[in-house]
Amino acid sequence: MSKQMGTPWWRGAVIYQVYPRSFLDSNGDGIGDLPGILAKLDYIASLGVDGLWVSPFFKSPMADFGYDIADYRDVDPLFGTLADFDALVAKAHALGLKVMIDQVLSHTSVEHAWFKQSRENRSNAKADWYVWADAKPDGSPPNNWLSIFGGVAWQWEPRRGQYYLHNFLTAQPDLNFHHPEVQQAALDNLRFWLDRGVDGFRLDAINFCFHDRALRDNPAKPPALRVGRGFSPDNPYAFQYHHHNNTQPENLVFLERIRALLDEYPDVAALGEISSEDSLATMAEYTRGRRLHMGYSFELLTEDFSARYLRETVARLEASMSEGWPCWAISNHDVQRVATRWGGANPPPQLAPMLCALVASLRGSVCVYQGEELGLTEAEVPFELLQDPYGISFWPTFKGRDGCRTPMPWDGGVNAGFSTGTPWLPLANAHHALSVAKQESQPDSTLNQYRRFLAWRAQQPALRAGDIRFLDTAEPILAFTRSLGDQTLLCVFNLCAEPQRFPLPAAHASQPIQTIGTAHVDASTLQLPGYGAAFLR
């Protein structure tokens, strides 16, 4: 529970996302691991965050780097052991950090024992645990559904003489959640980790659990609307409205079963990753009543960095989310790093601290992606060193996700302290100058500004749990108030590199109590430096 607010720990929390492969390698094999995370928990705690979310570390053939799970209840040897995970949880809790882990419920790996049994024939005990369908009379797939990673979403399986559904890679077959035993097995796997002491789950692609039983074709989308967050510009996935292969009404009942399970444990939370035709509406629906605690979408993971877009996006969610609680992110392991996406090839150093303050001031919880606190830019990975199958398939128009997954720079040593071996992805040259060790010694580094702001935010009830109300401002100024009880804060952000003047409302015409950059008030006008921010009572 939050010591100050007396509310659940996750409400208004800042959650630090760890991508294990790229955090710290403890054994010299070039791949980060659980002991590496354990060794850096003090660093994570020093940021002032409330908890960490650990991306998949489960047993997997790594076709999609752990999002293709072969055993939900074991740690892949690349990352360590269950004992390592238990030690990580114990130390995190001792440091006052909560631990959330990814759960990938909608699909498994082709190497999972369930799928190996299911594919053998049409009469075994798990024959209906996956989405199987007969070919059309001409041998083609049963409908027009497409995979997010390109091409048709159906793969022929000669053992059964049927197609199986894969919304992602062919190596990631979709489970059939219409089968009650599949639902129960998924809940049992969640219970396994709850019993080991985790404080919550980030539920990957949670709106993909159910499919349309009738396997109806998805309707075509007009060319002008063929845009999508994280999609290659030439990915045919954007050519359809995805009305039938995800976000089905049956999913709501299953979410209530997940919530009932979590309610058996004290102060745990479920954060659902949602990517649908209207993700904001789905977030509101999925967090209504006794369903998910929080919703997480890709709305702020776009290239649109304008006051208008930010204001309209958050306001639209606020208008629809009457009961639930949002969780915001501006970077993660699937999209270009925000410093580059919103700041260009050479982002100014003051941009990253302002972005931290901005996202951490919205109503909701926050996910911070590892390296965001350092201002890391997107890395350029040459084609011959790419690992991401998505990027390899769509090169060169889309370079995939490797550029945001390169290793953390810790110090000035070999491979910036990430590994004594050859890293699985190369470290970006520009990242050496942004290492943790270098920034630790600079009082006004991005890292230390992050720490100072999060420490201050933790003492502001209105920022953690208050209401939000936007002011009508012209570009490039974004302004809103956060209010809770007797506290109201005016939060003002300059989204461009040039200094800006903002006439203050009479109620807030005083000097700022917190700034990013040298903001100050002169004759009831707020003077903001480029990419500056100010907070006023």
Query: How far is residue 427's CA from residue 410's CA, in Å, rounded to a whole number?
Result: 11
For residue 385, CA distances in Å to 44, 185, 378, 414, 425 come to 29, 38, 15, 19, 7
State the Cα–Cα distance between residues 227 and 303, nearest whole angstrom.
Answer: 12
Pairing mode, strands 269-274 and 294-297: parallel
| Candidate list 195, 264, 472, 486, residue with the active-site label | 264
Cα separation, 156 vs 143, in Å, equals 13
Active-site choice (68, 84, 204, 373): 204
The DSSP code sequence of 184-216 is HHHHHHHHHHHHTT--EEEEETGGGS---TT-P
Q: Which of 354, 339, 280, 342 is nearest to 314 (CA)?
A: 280
- How far apart are alpha carbons 265 and 190 in whole angstroms? 12
**Per-residue tokens: 339:** 């410093």
What gap in Å lies between CA 242 and CA 236, rounded to an integer?
12
- Give the DSSP per-residue string, 55-113: PP-EE---TTTTSS-SEEEEE-TTT--HHHHHHHHHHHHHTT-EEEEEEE-SB--TTSH
Check: CB of residue 271 under 8 Å from CB of residue 293.
yes
CA distance 224 to 230: 17
Q: Is 204 part of the annotated catalytic residue set?
A: yes
Q: Among 131, 124, 298, which residue's Cα sits nearest to residue 209?
A: 131
> Which residues are catalytic, by number?
204, 264
